[in-house]
Amino acid sequence: MRKGLLAGLLALAAVLVAVAALLLRAPRKSNSLASPVAATGAARPAAVASPVQTPTATVTAGPAKHSARTATPTKAAPVWTVDKAASRLTFRAVMNGQPFDGVFRSWDAQIAFDPHNLATSRATLTVDTTSALTGQPIKDAALPNSEWLATTAFPQATMVTRLITQTGPGRYQASADVHIRGVAWRTTVPFTVVISHDDGRMQSTLTLDRRTFGIGEGPFRSPAPVDPLVQVSLRLVAKKSR
CATH classification at residue 101:
2.40.128.110
| Residue 36 within a domain | no
What are 132-190's pLDDT values in tens digits? 999 999 999 999 999 999 999 999 999 999 999 999 999 999 999 999 999 999 999 99
Q: Which residues contact 211 (CB under 8 A, 6 or more apart)?
A: 221, 228
SS (H, E, C) 158-183: EEEEEEEEEEECCEEEEEEEEEECCE
| Residue 119 within a domain | yes
**Whole-number Å distance between alpha carbons of 180 and 212:** 9
**Whole-number Å distance between alpha carbons of 136 and 212:** 25
| Residue 13 within a domain | no
Please give the share of the chain, as a percent, with pLDDT higher than 70.
Answer: 69
Q: Which long-range contacts (CB under 8 A, 24 or more apart) does 164-167 make?
A: 164/113, 164/118, 164/121, 164/122, 164/123, 165/118, 166/115, 166/118
pTM: predicted TM-score of the whole model, two decimal places: 0.69
- Domain count of the chain? 1
Mean pLDDT of the chain: 80
| Residue 3 within a domain | no
In terms of Cα–Cα distance, which of 182, 170, 163, 172 is closest to 119?
163
Please give the share of the chain, as a percent, with pLDDT higher than 90.
Answer: 64
| Residue 163 within a domain | yes
Q: What is the mean pLDDT of residues 69-88?
A: 85
| Residue 33 within a domain | no
In terms of Cα–Cα distance, which of 144, 204, 155, 152 is closest to 180?
155
Q: What is the mean pLDDT of residues 211-221?
A: 86
Which residue segment(s) compose the domain that 90 sits in? Answer: 79-240
| Residue 34 within a domain | no
HSE (side-chain half, CA atoms, 13 Å) at 28? 10
pLDDT at 135: 97
In terms of Cα–Cα distance, which of 146, 152, 159 is closest to 214?
146
Q: Bigger pLDDT: 223 or 77?
A: 77
In terms of Cα–Cα distance, which of 71, 166, 160, 162 is closest to 114?
166
26-35, 184-193, 213-222, 227-236: range with lowest mean pLDDT: 26-35
| Residue 24 within a domain | no
- pLDDT band (50, 70, 90) for residue 73: low
